[in-house]
A and B are shown apart, each in its own frame.
Chain A
């Protein structure tokens, strides 16, 4: 029995290669790939028996053919794969990049007062989830009967090459690995200039190649250093004063490493749906987190969070206490390393840094810090500390364990004030053609409920794998929105969302007739909270709450100010 007396369920873990990346990959194709110089150079014997090189190529990669003008990756999209060019030429469009319309994106526009008034006076559709048939027909295809890549074509390539700066990529070159490994948006658009054949490797496979093959690791790391590391380092105050040459030597010494569980969102979701069998006393999630730097270890590096989240904890009594969590751009170990440099002796870390989910970390060695950074460093931030009472830890642990820290617009409801009138839900529905985009229900801690509404995460794992880029960050504030016209209803985003905040709905035309595809299957669309983007006045749910019980807030604000502090 699970806690609360509910019948327990046994949770099985997803096997790594249950679903191959490409359905068409065959042994013959894998054999041909193994002959290519970029792959042949990989020493297959370095790979563990459970994750052989052949298996990676067979299950974590697929062949993609592109016609001239077809876009391989689109600037701003979140991607989960990198590409090795097998044949053909591609072009990387340099900043400022291609116009939004060319890339098939919607143009953001705030609705005016008149339009808003007209919407308010217009009666809601009689049927849920109705669409204009024309628009729906254009997207009336299921994931099964459409090329999952569903990419955009660029017309008139010569004109594009004429108007935009670009760089050619040829056979044997790799691109897309930074976005794939770092869960950051694609930094540039890449399209085919000639008929091309690519090997698309999903990030799980890329991670293994990087982990087990020094050549690939070197290549990916070098590309990262060349393209992104300098910018990342410059964003830190303690590197800001370094000149380019010094920064380059710092970058050369930096170690890049990924910790934690890459599939954390899937496991987290499954864990929430069904608690582990026989768990009378839930294990402390801290114990399962990969340790990046352990308490008591030497303060010989500074750790910079490049993506994801990490927990800072320390031993208190018989357990470990969460001090805080760190997000992108935060550092760990600077104060201790600086103390060691000043004292000229060895200093031990007083806290542990561990991975929450998956986290990418840059490790800057002490030697580099002592040579280039510490001599010119005027202000050193103190080690992380907390003034919380022990009893307040429960809320912080809840924020972190449940990954609410990932949210930037988490819907938090004070149940002691909420009169359950559902004005928030009806306001949401009124703003979305009668269809509410959230459920006023969700996990509760004390008197705070996190409702099932899209949290517009810092690390939006829902975007990873969207075949059409329909789910993307909106230019107005970067909220995560879904382009209904390009959503093919594959459900990847809904399955990936660890918080169950995306719903797949079957659509109907304006008369209420269900829309189906050629095979008679219902056409589905992904729906979720869009934070009323484009609507004047901000989220309707917040404005509609008569008791001021509903807030949209980020994890960082919650941790810094507590929920009571966020209220006002």
Chain B
């Protein structure tokens, strides 16, 4: 398929040269092919919504979407060249095309890389269950604190939890750091846990070990949250930009058609 796409783009480029040599304006034809191709790419979104219909495997559609997307870059270059356009509308159109292409490329890369990181991180969890899982861990941490306080008769651990760990167990934390793959969360946990250890009696230290275990579990959930969020949200840029590009491209085509007559 890659070869077919490259051949088609190459053929259109050769035709454009031939048309220019024979004094004809090729832009309507090259622009038309570009618009048709982008419309075809948009069908992938429609396929994802028509799940019940036997329209072939979505993986084949995605493969065509990716190949078609790269081919559209070639078509765009054949149509518009490398020069940055001068008019405001054309600049907006070019910028949208760039955003769609770059976001699509980045998204494709993320889809190739992040699943492997998610698998290696372990503790697989369904995205929608993450808030409930964090709430469960928080409840477990708070119950550990209450048990320690009632067993020891003082609330050192409770005060420490309210000052430091409550923030951590409140919601997903260190999202960017987890996306970047740094050990910031691990370092933060180690620093916070070590800071209070000297203030605790042996029984509280056992509870602190329990809290450390819960921190590790929370970190694993946070990693899942960070990576799964990114896997889901990159399309929040790609899809609206693509829709906006389609609208502007249609308007651009009509304007070009009208003014070319």
Contacts and interface: CB of A to CB of B under 8 A. Distances in A.
Contacts of B57: 542-543, 545, 548
Interface bin, chain A: 35 or more
B136 interface: no
B213 A444 contact: no
Nearest to A118: B52
Nearest to B114: A419
B118 interface: yes
Interface stretch (A42-50, A158-166, A421-429): A421-429
Contacts of B58: 423, 543-546
Given A120-B50, A120-B53, A427-B51, A440 B126 contact: yes
Contacts of B114: 419
A120 B51 CA distance: 7
Nearest to A122: B52
Interface residues of B, number: 27
Given A543-B58, A548-B59, A415 B51 contact: no
Interface of B is mostly: helix
A100 interface: no
A423 B119 CA distance: 19
Contacts of A230: none
A440 B228 CA distance: 14
Interface in A530-546: 535-538, 540, 542-546
Contact of B62 (A416, A543, A547): A547
B48 A547 contact: no
Interface string B27-58: 00000000000000000000010111111111
B131 interface: no
A418 interface: yes
A119 B52 contact: yes
Interface in A256-310: none
B52 A431 contact: yes
A426 B51 contact: yes
Interface of A: 5, 116-117, 119-120, 415-423, 426-427, 430-431, 439-441, 444, 447, 449, 535-538, 540, 542-549
Interface of B: 48, 50-59, 61-62, 111, 114-116, 118-119, 124-127, 213, 228, 231-232
Given A116-B52, A420-B232, A430-B51, 20 more contacts: A119-B52, A120-B53, A415-B118, A418-B115, A420-B115, A420-B118, A420-B127, A421-B231, A423-B51, A427-B51, A440-B126, A444-B119, A537-B55, A540-B52, A543-B55, A543-B56, A545-B59, A546-B59, A546-B62, A547-B115
21 contacts: A116-B52, A117-B53, A120-B51, A415-B124, A418-B115, A419-B111, A419-B115, A420-B232, A423-B51, A431-B51, A440-B126, A535-B52, A535-B54, A537-B55, A540-B51, A543-B54, A543-B58, A545-B57, A545-B58, A546-B62, A547-B62
